[in-house]
Structure 1
Protein backbone atom coordinates (compact mmCIF):
# COMPACT_ATOMS: atom_id res chain seq x y z
CA UNK A 1 0.00 0.00 0.00
CA UNK A 2 1.26 3.53 -0.74
CA UNK A 3 1.21 6.34 1.79
CA UNK A 4 -1.54 8.96 1.78
CA UNK A 5 0.04 10.67 -1.24
CA UNK A 6 0.53 7.54 -3.33
CA UNK A 7 4.17 6.73 -2.54
CA UNK A 8 5.54 3.40 -1.37
CA UNK A 9 6.49 3.49 2.30
CA UNK A 10 9.39 2.02 4.26
CA UNK A 11 9.17 1.75 8.05
CA UNK A 12 12.59 2.01 9.72
CA UNK A 13 13.16 1.35 13.42
CA UNK A 14 16.08 2.74 15.37
CA UNK A 15 16.11 5.57 12.84
CA UNK A 16 17.45 8.39 15.03
CA UNK A 17 21.09 7.77 14.04
CA UNK A 18 23.68 5.28 12.87
CA UNK A 19 22.66 2.52 10.49
CA UNK A 20 18.95 3.28 10.88
CA UNK A 21 19.46 6.87 9.77
CA UNK A 22 21.67 5.70 6.91
CA UNK A 23 18.97 3.29 5.73
CA UNK A 24 16.36 6.05 5.93
CA UNK A 25 18.48 8.36 3.77
CA UNK A 26 19.29 5.59 1.28
CA UNK A 27 15.69 4.47 0.90
CA UNK A 28 14.29 8.00 0.65
CA UNK A 29 16.89 8.86 -1.99
CA UNK A 30 15.67 5.79 -3.89
CA UNK A 31 12.16 7.23 -4.11
CA UNK A 32 10.31 5.86 -1.10
CA UNK A 33 8.51 7.67 1.69
CA UNK A 34 9.84 6.71 5.11
CA UNK A 35 8.33 6.32 8.56
CA UNK A 36 10.98 6.73 11.25
CA UNK A 37 10.72 5.13 14.69
CA UNK A 38 12.92 5.73 17.74
CA UNK A 39 12.79 6.96 21.35
CA UNK A 40 14.81 10.17 20.86
CA UNK A 41 12.36 12.76 19.56
CA UNK A 42 14.96 15.46 18.91
CA UNK A 43 17.20 13.18 16.87
CA UNK A 44 14.23 11.66 15.06
CA UNK A 45 13.04 15.11 14.02
CA UNK A 46 16.58 15.95 12.92
CA UNK A 47 16.70 12.91 10.62
CA UNK A 48 13.23 13.68 9.25
CA UNK A 49 14.35 17.24 8.53
CA UNK A 50 17.49 16.09 6.74
CA UNK A 51 15.49 13.73 4.54
CA UNK A 52 12.88 16.38 3.76
CA UNK A 53 15.60 18.87 2.77
CA UNK A 54 17.67 16.48 0.64
CA UNK A 55 15.02 14.38 -1.12
CA UNK A 56 11.52 14.80 -2.53
CA UNK A 57 10.23 12.12 -0.15
CA UNK A 58 8.29 12.71 3.08
CA UNK A 59 9.56 11.41 6.42
CA UNK A 60 7.06 10.61 9.17
CA UNK A 61 8.67 10.56 12.66
CA UNK A 62 7.05 8.35 15.30
CA UNK A 63 8.43 8.53 18.85
CA UNK A 64 8.13 5.13 20.53
CA UNK A 65 10.09 2.77 22.77
CA UNK A 66 9.94 -0.56 20.94
CA UNK A 67 11.13 -2.45 24.02
CA UNK A 68 7.72 -1.94 25.65
CA UNK A 69 5.47 -5.05 25.51
CA UNK A 70 2.70 -3.49 23.41
CA UNK A 71 4.97 -1.42 21.19
CA UNK A 72 4.16 -3.18 17.91
CA UNK A 73 0.41 -2.71 18.38
CA UNK A 74 0.90 0.95 19.35
CA UNK A 75 3.13 1.53 16.34
CA UNK A 76 0.64 -0.01 13.93
CA UNK A 77 -2.12 2.09 15.49
CA UNK A 78 -0.02 5.23 15.03
CA UNK A 79 0.61 4.33 11.39
CA UNK A 80 -3.07 3.63 10.80
CA UNK A 81 -4.07 7.01 12.24
CA UNK A 82 -1.82 8.65 9.65
CA UNK A 83 -3.11 6.49 6.81
CA UNK A 84 0.24 4.68 6.50
CA UNK A 85 0.69 1.00 5.64
CA UNK A 86 4.35 0.00 5.18
CA UNK A 87 5.45 -1.85 2.06
CA UNK A 88 8.90 -2.40 3.56
CA UNK A 89 10.13 -2.84 7.13
CA UNK A 90 13.73 -2.24 8.21
CA UNK A 91 14.12 -3.81 11.65
CA UNK A 92 17.20 -1.95 12.87
CA UNK A 93 16.46 -1.06 16.51
CA UNK A 94 18.68 -2.87 18.99
CA UNK A 95 21.52 -2.55 21.49
CA UNK A 96 24.29 -4.59 23.09
CA UNK A 97 26.21 -4.78 26.36
CA UNK A 98 29.82 -5.82 26.90
CA UNK A 99 30.74 -7.98 29.89
CA UNK A 100 30.20 -11.43 31.42
CA UNK A 101 26.50 -12.23 31.54
CA UNK A 102 26.50 -12.81 35.30
CA UNK A 103 28.13 -9.44 35.95
CA UNK A 104 25.83 -7.36 33.75
CA UNK A 105 22.48 -6.04 34.95
CA UNK A 106 19.87 -8.77 34.49
CA UNK A 107 17.02 -6.40 33.67
CA UNK A 108 19.08 -4.66 31.00
CA UNK A 109 19.92 -7.99 29.39
CA UNK A 110 16.26 -9.00 29.36
CA UNK A 111 15.43 -5.59 27.85
CA UNK A 112 17.98 -6.37 25.15
CA UNK A 113 16.09 -9.56 24.32
CA UNK A 114 12.82 -7.61 24.30
CA UNK A 115 14.15 -5.12 21.75
CA UNK A 116 16.53 -7.19 19.64
CA UNK A 117 14.32 -10.29 19.44
CA UNK A 118 10.72 -9.84 20.59
CA UNK A 119 10.08 -6.42 19.04
CA UNK A 120 11.76 -7.43 15.78
CA UNK A 121 9.76 -10.65 15.48
CA UNK A 122 6.51 -9.00 16.57
CA UNK A 123 6.73 -6.29 13.92
CA UNK A 124 7.69 -8.78 11.24
CA UNK A 125 4.79 -11.09 12.08
CA UNK A 126 2.38 -8.16 12.24
CA UNK A 127 3.30 -6.68 8.86
CA UNK A 128 4.16 -9.72 6.73
CA UNK A 129 0.58 -10.95 6.13
CA UNK A 130 -0.39 -7.77 4.25
CA UNK A 131 2.87 -7.92 2.27
CA UNK A 132 2.20 -11.53 1.29
CA UNK A 133 -1.36 -10.68 0.28
CA UNK A 134 -0.08 -7.87 -1.95
CA UNK A 135 2.73 -10.04 -3.29
CA UNK A 136 5.34 -7.34 -2.90
CA UNK A 137 7.62 -5.63 -0.38
CA UNK A 138 9.51 -7.26 2.43
CA UNK A 139 11.76 -6.92 5.44
CA UNK A 140 15.37 -6.03 6.11
CA UNK A 141 16.45 -7.41 9.48
CA UNK A 142 19.67 -6.06 10.92
CA UNK A 143 21.67 -9.03 12.10
CA UNK A 144 25.45 -8.95 12.64
CA UNK A 145 28.70 -10.80 12.17
CA UNK A 146 27.92 -11.88 15.74
CA UNK A 147 25.04 -13.95 14.30
CA UNK A 148 27.50 -16.60 13.16
CA UNK A 149 29.12 -17.41 16.52
CA UNK A 150 28.64 -17.59 20.30
CA UNK A 151 29.88 -14.54 22.18
CA UNK A 152 31.44 -14.98 25.60
CA UNK A 153 31.78 -11.44 26.87
CA UNK A 154 28.56 -10.41 25.08
CA UNK A 155 26.58 -13.61 25.47
CA UNK A 156 23.04 -12.23 25.27
CA UNK A 157 23.78 -9.83 22.41
CA UNK A 158 25.39 -12.51 20.25
CA UNK A 159 22.48 -14.85 20.99
CA UNK A 160 19.93 -12.23 19.96
CA UNK A 161 21.70 -11.72 16.64
CA UNK A 162 21.85 -15.47 16.05
CA UNK A 163 18.06 -15.45 16.42
CA UNK A 164 17.72 -12.61 13.91
CA UNK A 165 19.71 -14.47 11.27
CA UNK A 166 17.94 -17.79 11.84
CA UNK A 167 14.50 -16.17 11.88
CA UNK A 168 15.22 -14.18 8.73
CA UNK A 169 16.52 -17.15 6.77
CA UNK A 170 13.54 -19.28 7.76
CA UNK A 171 11.05 -16.56 6.80
CA UNK A 172 12.85 -16.09 3.50
CA UNK A 173 12.41 -19.77 2.73
CA UNK A 174 8.76 -19.81 3.79
CA UNK A 175 7.99 -16.78 1.60
CA UNK A 176 9.85 -17.99 -1.48
CA UNK A 177 7.77 -17.39 -4.61
CA UNK A 178 5.37 -14.94 -2.95
CA UNK A 179 7.07 -11.75 -4.14
CA UNK A 180 8.04 -10.85 -0.57
CA UNK A 181 11.74 -10.58 0.30
CA UNK A 182 13.31 -11.09 3.72
CA UNK A 183 16.96 -10.10 3.95
CA UNK A 184 19.31 -10.36 6.92
CA UNK A 185 22.15 -7.81 6.85
CA UNK A 186 25.18 -8.96 8.84
CA UNK A 187 27.80 -6.20 9.17
CA UNK A 188 30.96 -6.29 11.19
CA UNK A 189 31.98 -3.30 13.33
CA UNK A 190 30.30 -0.04 12.32
CA UNK A 191 31.14 3.15 14.29
CA UNK A 192 27.79 4.48 15.56
CA UNK A 193 26.17 5.30 18.89
CA UNK A 194 26.07 1.53 19.52
CA UNK A 195 29.66 1.43 20.76
CA UNK A 196 29.41 3.97 23.60
CA UNK A 197 26.11 2.42 24.73
CA UNK A 198 27.49 -1.12 24.72
CA UNK A 199 31.04 -0.50 25.94
CA UNK A 200 32.50 -1.86 22.69
CA UNK A 201 34.98 0.98 22.19
CA UNK A 202 37.49 -0.63 24.60
CA UNK A 203 37.07 -4.20 23.33
CA UNK A 204 40.03 -5.74 21.47
CA UNK A 205 37.94 -7.12 18.64
CA UNK A 206 36.41 -3.72 17.90
CA UNK A 207 39.62 -1.72 18.28
CA UNK A 208 41.55 -4.00 15.92
CA UNK A 209 38.84 -4.70 13.35
CA UNK A 210 38.47 -3.13 9.93
CA UNK A 211 35.38 -0.98 10.16
CA UNK A 212 32.69 -0.03 7.64
CA UNK A 213 30.66 3.16 7.65
CA UNK A 214 26.92 3.16 8.32
CA UNK A 215 26.13 4.63 4.87
CA UNK A 216 28.12 1.85 3.18
CA UNK A 217 26.28 -0.81 5.19
CA UNK A 218 22.93 0.74 4.30
CA UNK A 219 23.85 1.03 0.62
CA UNK A 220 24.95 -2.60 0.36
CA UNK A 221 22.08 -3.86 2.50
CA UNK A 222 19.46 -2.00 0.48
CA UNK A 223 21.00 -3.16 -2.81
CA UNK A 224 20.96 -6.76 -1.57
CA UNK A 225 17.33 -6.48 -0.52
CA UNK A 226 16.33 -5.14 -3.94
CA UNK A 227 18.18 -8.06 -5.52
CA UNK A 228 16.17 -10.49 -3.39
CA UNK A 229 19.15 -11.75 -1.39
CA UNK A 230 18.47 -13.79 1.72
CA UNK A 231 21.68 -12.66 3.48
CA UNK A 232 24.02 -9.72 2.95
CA UNK A 233 27.45 -9.70 4.63
CA UNK A 234 28.97 -6.30 3.80
CA UNK A 235 32.72 -6.19 3.28
CA UNK A 236 35.23 -8.81 2.19
CA UNK A 237 36.88 -9.17 5.60
CA UNK A 238 33.50 -9.56 7.33
CA UNK A 239 32.44 -12.18 4.79
CA UNK A 240 35.72 -14.07 5.22
CA UNK A 241 35.36 -14.02 9.01
CA UNK A 242 31.79 -15.33 8.82
CA UNK A 243 32.90 -18.22 6.62
CA UNK A 244 35.91 -19.00 8.81
CA UNK A 245 34.04 -19.13 12.11
CA UNK A 246 31.41 -21.41 10.58
CA UNK A 247 33.99 -24.18 10.10
CA UNK A 248 36.19 -23.56 13.15
CA UNK A 249 35.65 -26.13 15.96
CA UNK A 250 33.86 -24.64 18.96
CA UNK A 251 36.71 -25.77 21.20
CA UNK A 252 38.96 -23.30 19.38
CA UNK A 253 36.38 -20.65 18.55
CA UNK A 254 35.07 -20.00 22.06
CA UNK A 255 38.41 -19.18 23.73
CA UNK A 256 39.40 -17.04 20.75
CA UNK A 257 36.23 -14.98 20.97
CA UNK A 258 36.56 -14.73 24.73
CA UNK A 259 40.08 -13.34 24.28
CA UNK A 260 39.10 -10.77 21.67
CA UNK A 261 35.98 -9.69 23.59
CA UNK A 262 38.12 -8.52 26.50
CA UNK A 263 38.88 -4.87 27.03
CA UNK A 264 42.40 -3.66 26.26
Structure 2
Protein backbone atom coordinates (compact mmCIF):
# COMPACT_ATOMS: atom_id res chain seq x y z
CA UNK A 1 0.00 0.00 0.00
CA UNK A 2 1.34 3.43 -0.97
CA UNK A 3 -1.19 5.44 1.00
CA UNK A 4 -0.52 6.21 4.62
CA UNK A 5 -2.97 4.99 7.24
CA UNK A 6 -4.54 6.96 10.07
CA UNK A 7 -6.01 5.13 13.09
CA UNK A 8 -8.86 7.07 14.69
CA UNK A 9 -10.53 6.00 17.93
CA UNK A 10 -14.07 7.03 18.81
CA UNK A 11 -14.74 7.51 15.10
CA UNK A 12 -18.45 6.67 15.02
CA UNK A 13 -19.63 10.27 15.52
CA UNK A 14 -18.70 13.85 16.31
CA UNK A 15 -15.06 14.92 16.29
CA UNK A 16 -13.85 11.40 15.53
CA UNK A 17 -16.04 11.05 12.44
CA UNK A 18 -14.93 14.49 11.30
CA UNK A 19 -11.29 13.47 11.66
CA UNK A 20 -12.08 10.48 9.44
CA UNK A 21 -13.70 12.69 6.81
CA UNK A 22 -10.85 15.19 6.75
CA UNK A 23 -8.06 12.62 6.63
CA UNK A 24 -9.98 10.76 3.90
CA UNK A 25 -10.24 14.00 1.92
CA UNK A 26 -6.45 14.31 2.22
CA UNK A 27 -6.08 10.90 0.58
CA UNK A 28 -5.26 8.80 3.65
CA UNK A 29 -6.45 5.27 4.24
CA UNK A 30 -8.22 4.86 7.58
CA UNK A 31 -8.68 2.45 10.43
CA UNK A 32 -11.68 3.61 12.43
CA UNK A 33 -12.66 2.13 15.75
CA UNK A 34 -15.57 2.47 18.15
CA UNK A 35 -18.19 0.24 19.77
CA UNK A 36 -21.03 0.90 17.30
CA UNK A 37 -20.57 -1.41 14.33
CA UNK A 38 -23.40 0.06 12.28
CA UNK A 39 -22.02 3.59 12.56
CA UNK A 40 -18.50 2.51 11.62
CA UNK A 41 -19.64 0.52 8.61
CA UNK A 42 -21.86 3.36 7.40
CA UNK A 43 -18.98 5.83 7.67
CA UNK A 44 -16.58 3.41 5.96
CA UNK A 45 -18.97 2.96 3.04
CA UNK A 46 -19.41 6.72 2.68
CA UNK A 47 -15.71 7.54 2.71
CA UNK A 48 -14.62 4.72 0.43
CA UNK A 49 -17.21 5.72 -2.16
CA UNK A 50 -16.42 9.43 -1.93
CA UNK A 51 -12.64 9.38 -1.74
CA UNK A 52 -11.65 6.02 -3.27
CA UNK A 53 -9.62 5.04 -0.23
CA UNK A 54 -9.53 1.98 2.01
CA UNK A 55 -11.33 2.16 5.36
CA UNK A 56 -10.92 -0.60 7.94
CA UNK A 57 -13.72 -0.55 10.55
CA UNK A 58 -12.67 -2.13 13.86
CA UNK A 59 -15.35 -2.69 16.49
CA UNK A 60 -13.55 -2.44 19.81
CA UNK A 61 -14.22 -1.32 23.37
CA UNK A 62 -11.20 0.58 24.68
CA UNK A 63 -12.32 -0.09 28.23
CA UNK A 64 -11.05 -3.65 27.76
CA UNK A 65 -7.43 -4.17 28.74
CA UNK A 66 -6.43 -5.96 25.53
CA UNK A 67 -8.18 -3.58 23.12
CA UNK A 68 -5.04 -1.79 21.89
CA UNK A 69 -3.28 -5.06 21.09
CA UNK A 70 -6.33 -6.38 19.23
CA UNK A 71 -6.54 -3.25 17.09
CA UNK A 72 -2.86 -3.26 16.16
CA UNK A 73 -2.74 -7.02 15.62
CA UNK A 74 -5.69 -6.83 13.24
CA UNK A 75 -3.99 -4.10 11.23
CA UNK A 76 -0.69 -5.99 11.17
CA UNK A 77 -2.55 -9.06 9.94
CA UNK A 78 -3.73 -7.00 6.97
CA UNK A 79 -0.22 -5.78 6.27
CA UNK A 80 -0.87 -2.26 7.55
CA UNK A 81 0.90 -0.02 10.02
CA UNK A 82 -0.13 3.21 11.72
CA UNK A 83 1.30 6.44 10.27
CA UNK A 84 -1.06 8.74 12.17
CA UNK A 85 -2.95 8.13 15.39
CA UNK A 86 -5.90 10.18 16.59
CA UNK A 87 -6.78 9.35 20.19
CA UNK A 88 -10.29 10.76 20.25
CA UNK A 89 -12.48 8.22 22.09
CA UNK A 90 -14.08 9.67 25.17
CA UNK A 91 -17.23 10.54 27.06
CA UNK A 92 -18.41 12.35 30.15
CA UNK A 93 -19.29 10.54 33.36
CA UNK A 94 -22.09 12.55 35.01
CA UNK A 95 -22.33 12.77 38.77
CA UNK A 96 -19.75 13.08 41.51
CA UNK A 97 -16.87 10.84 42.50
CA UNK A 98 -18.94 9.86 45.55
CA UNK A 99 -22.05 8.69 43.74
CA UNK A 100 -20.47 6.77 40.86
CA UNK A 101 -19.05 3.26 41.15
CA UNK A 102 -15.36 2.49 40.87
CA UNK A 103 -16.00 0.19 37.91
CA UNK A 104 -17.34 3.18 35.97
CA UNK A 105 -14.45 5.42 37.07
CA UNK A 106 -11.86 2.78 36.16
CA UNK A 107 -13.39 2.32 32.70
CA UNK A 108 -13.35 6.09 32.25
CA UNK A 109 -9.64 6.28 33.07
CA UNK A 110 -8.95 3.36 30.75
CA UNK A 111 -10.76 4.83 27.75
CA UNK A 112 -9.69 8.45 28.12
CA UNK A 113 -6.14 8.08 29.38
CA UNK A 114 -4.64 4.59 29.59
CA UNK A 115 -5.70 3.50 26.10
CA UNK A 116 -4.35 6.64 24.36
CA UNK A 117 -1.06 6.35 26.22
CA UNK A 118 -0.79 2.64 25.40
CA UNK A 119 -1.59 3.10 21.73
CA UNK A 120 0.94 5.91 21.49
CA UNK A 121 3.60 3.77 23.15
CA UNK A 122 2.95 0.89 20.77
CA UNK A 123 2.90 2.84 17.49
CA UNK A 124 5.90 5.09 18.18
CA UNK A 125 8.62 2.48 17.48
CA UNK A 126 7.24 1.83 13.99
CA UNK A 127 6.94 5.54 13.33
CA UNK A 128 10.56 6.01 14.39
CA UNK A 129 11.69 3.17 12.13
CA UNK A 130 9.89 4.68 9.13
CA UNK A 131 10.86 8.25 10.01
CA UNK A 132 7.33 9.62 10.00
CA UNK A 133 4.45 9.89 12.45
CA UNK A 134 1.58 12.07 13.56
CA UNK A 135 -0.22 11.70 16.91
CA UNK A 136 -3.18 13.84 17.94
CA UNK A 137 -4.53 13.44 21.46
CA UNK A 138 -7.96 15.04 21.79
CA UNK A 139 -7.73 16.76 25.16
CA UNK A 140 -9.98 19.66 26.17
CA UNK A 141 -10.10 23.25 27.27
CA UNK A 142 -11.11 21.68 30.60
CA UNK A 143 -7.47 20.65 30.97
CA UNK A 144 -6.63 24.32 31.54
CA UNK A 145 -9.50 25.10 33.90
CA UNK A 146 -9.65 24.48 37.65
CA UNK A 147 -11.30 21.29 38.81
CA UNK A 148 -14.99 21.58 39.62
CA UNK A 149 -17.70 19.42 41.13
CA UNK A 150 -19.02 16.76 38.78
CA UNK A 151 -17.22 14.90 35.96
CA UNK A 152 -14.52 14.69 38.59
CA UNK A 153 -11.81 12.96 36.57
CA UNK A 154 -12.50 14.70 33.26
CA UNK A 155 -10.35 17.79 33.74
CA UNK A 156 -7.51 15.86 35.38
CA UNK A 157 -7.39 13.31 32.54
CA UNK A 158 -7.43 16.04 29.91
CA UNK A 159 -4.70 17.97 31.73
CA UNK A 160 -2.68 14.76 31.78
CA UNK A 161 -3.11 14.33 28.02
CA UNK A 162 -1.84 17.86 27.44
CA UNK A 163 1.34 17.26 29.46
CA UNK A 164 1.79 13.82 27.93
CA UNK A 165 1.54 15.24 24.40
CA UNK A 166 4.01 18.01 25.18
CA UNK A 167 6.48 15.48 26.53
CA UNK A 168 6.16 13.06 23.61
CA UNK A 169 6.59 15.91 21.13
CA UNK A 170 9.69 17.08 22.99
CA UNK A 171 11.14 13.57 23.20
CA UNK A 172 10.71 13.00 19.47
CA UNK A 173 12.45 16.28 18.67
CA UNK A 174 15.27 15.62 21.16
CA UNK A 175 15.70 12.09 19.80
CA UNK A 176 16.22 13.27 16.25
CA UNK A 177 12.80 12.16 15.01
CA UNK A 178 12.15 15.44 13.24
CA UNK A 179 9.09 14.23 11.32
CA UNK A 180 7.25 12.65 14.24
CA UNK A 181 4.94 15.13 15.97
CA UNK A 182 2.47 14.84 18.85
CA UNK A 183 -0.21 17.44 19.51
CA UNK A 184 -2.83 17.90 22.21
CA UNK A 185 -5.99 19.30 20.63
CA UNK A 186 -7.95 21.24 23.27
CA UNK A 187 -11.43 22.11 22.05
CA UNK A 188 -14.06 23.80 24.14
CA UNK A 189 -17.74 23.08 23.65
CA UNK A 190 -18.14 21.39 20.26
CA UNK A 191 -21.39 20.40 18.57
CA UNK A 192 -21.54 16.60 18.68
CA UNK A 193 -23.37 13.74 20.40
CA UNK A 194 -21.12 14.04 23.47
CA UNK A 195 -23.71 15.84 25.60
CA UNK A 196 -26.59 13.72 24.34
CA UNK A 197 -24.81 10.55 25.46
CA UNK A 198 -24.12 11.79 28.98
CA UNK A 199 -27.58 13.33 29.38
CA UNK A 200 -26.55 16.99 29.67
CA UNK A 201 -27.87 18.30 26.33
CA UNK A 202 -30.74 20.23 27.91
CA UNK A 203 -28.33 22.01 30.24
CA UNK A 204 -25.64 22.78 27.67
CA UNK A 205 -28.17 24.13 25.18
CA UNK A 206 -28.76 26.99 27.61
CA UNK A 207 -25.15 28.16 27.23
CA UNK A 208 -24.21 31.14 25.01
CA UNK A 209 -23.77 30.27 21.33
CA UNK A 210 -20.38 32.03 21.19
CA UNK A 211 -18.94 29.29 23.39
CA UNK A 212 -19.64 26.60 20.77
CA UNK A 213 -17.74 25.48 17.68
CA UNK A 214 -18.54 23.11 14.85
CA UNK A 215 -16.41 19.96 14.62
CA UNK A 216 -14.89 20.79 11.21
CA UNK A 217 -12.76 23.81 12.23
CA UNK A 218 -11.74 22.04 15.45
CA UNK A 219 -10.41 19.07 13.50
CA UNK A 220 -8.79 21.23 10.85
CA UNK A 221 -6.91 23.11 13.57
CA UNK A 222 -5.68 19.82 15.04
CA UNK A 223 -4.38 18.48 11.73
CA UNK A 224 -2.67 21.76 10.86
CA UNK A 225 -1.06 21.93 14.30
CA UNK A 226 0.35 18.41 14.29
CA UNK A 227 1.78 18.89 10.80
CA UNK A 228 3.55 22.01 12.06
CA UNK A 229 4.87 20.20 15.13
CA UNK A 230 2.89 22.29 17.62
CA UNK A 231 2.58 20.42 20.94
CA UNK A 232 -0.74 22.05 21.91
CA UNK A 233 -3.51 23.78 20.00
CA UNK A 234 -6.60 25.50 21.41
CA UNK A 235 -8.99 26.12 18.49
CA UNK A 236 -11.18 29.21 18.29
CA UNK A 237 -10.70 32.75 19.56
CA UNK A 238 -13.12 32.36 22.48
CA UNK A 239 -11.37 29.20 23.67
CA UNK A 240 -7.92 30.78 23.30
CA UNK A 241 -9.10 33.72 25.38
CA UNK A 242 -10.47 31.47 28.13
CA UNK A 243 -7.28 29.39 28.18
CA UNK A 244 -5.20 32.55 28.54
CA UNK A 245 -7.40 33.90 31.32
CA UNK A 246 -6.95 30.70 33.35
CA UNK A 247 -3.21 31.38 33.31
CA UNK A 248 -3.18 35.06 34.18
CA UNK A 249 -6.07 35.46 36.61
CA UNK A 250 -5.53 34.68 40.32
CA UNK A 251 -6.27 31.03 41.04
CA UNK A 252 -8.96 31.69 43.70
CA UNK A 253 -10.84 33.83 41.18
CA UNK A 254 -10.64 31.24 38.39
CA UNK A 255 -11.86 28.55 40.78
CA UNK A 256 -14.86 30.66 41.73
CA UNK A 257 -15.71 31.54 38.13
CA UNK A 258 -15.26 27.97 36.93
CA UNK A 259 -17.39 26.62 39.76
CA UNK A 260 -20.24 29.00 38.96
CA UNK A 261 -20.13 28.25 35.25
CA UNK A 262 -19.89 24.48 35.68
CA UNK A 263 -23.16 24.41 37.60
CA UNK A 264 -24.89 25.24 34.32
CA UNK A 265 -23.83 22.06 32.55
CA UNK A 266 -22.47 19.55 35.11
CA UNK A 267 -24.71 17.34 37.19
CA UNK A 268 -23.68 16.68 40.75
CA UNK A 269 -26.73 14.82 42.06
**Shorter-chain TM-score: what band?**
over 0.9
* Correspondence list, 1:147-226, <5 A: 147-152=143-148, 153-176=150-173, 177-178=176-177, 179-203=179-203, 207-208=207-208, 210-226=211-227
Normalising by structure 1, we get a TM-score of 0.93
* Correspondence list, 1:1-264, <5 A: 5-152=1-148, 153-176=150-173, 177-178=176-177, 179-203=179-203, 207-208=207-208, 210-263=211-264
Q: Classify 1:117/1:253 alpha carbon distance in 2 versus 1 (closer, same or farther; 3 Å).
A: same
Deviates further, 75-84 or 39-48: 75-84
Alpha-carbon shift at residue 84 of structure 1 (Å) = 1.2
Native 8 Å contact 2:134 2:227 kept in 1:
no
Native 8 Å contact 2:234 2:240 kept in 1:
yes
Deviates further, 76-85 or 118-127: 76-85
CA-atom RMSD in angstroms: 1.7
Paired residues, number: 260
Alpha-carbon shift at residue 203 of structure 1 (Å) = 4.2
Describe the superposition over 1:223-264 as per-residue Cα deviations: whole angstroms up to 9, x where unpaired. 222222211111000011011112223222222222211147
Give 5+ residue unaligned stretches, structure 2.
none
Native 8 Å contact 2:188 2:239 kept in 1:
yes
Alpha-carbon shift at residue 97 of structure 1 (Å) = 2.0
Distance in 2, Cα, partners of 1:33 & 1:143: 24
Describe the superposition over 1:181-207 as per-residue Cα deviations: whole angstroms up to 9, x where unpaired. 001110110121111222332446972
Native 8 Å contact 1:169 1:230 kept in 2:
yes
Describe the superposition over 1:160-199 as per-residue Cα deviations: whole angstroms up to 9, x where unpaired. 1011101000111111141200011101101211112223
Native 8 Å contact 1:203 1:262 kept in 2:
no
Q: Secondary structure at the match of 2:91?
A: coil
Native 8 Å contact 1:38 1:44 kept in 2:
yes
Deviates further, 223-232 or 135-144: 223-232
Runs of 4+ residues over 6 Å off in structure 1: none
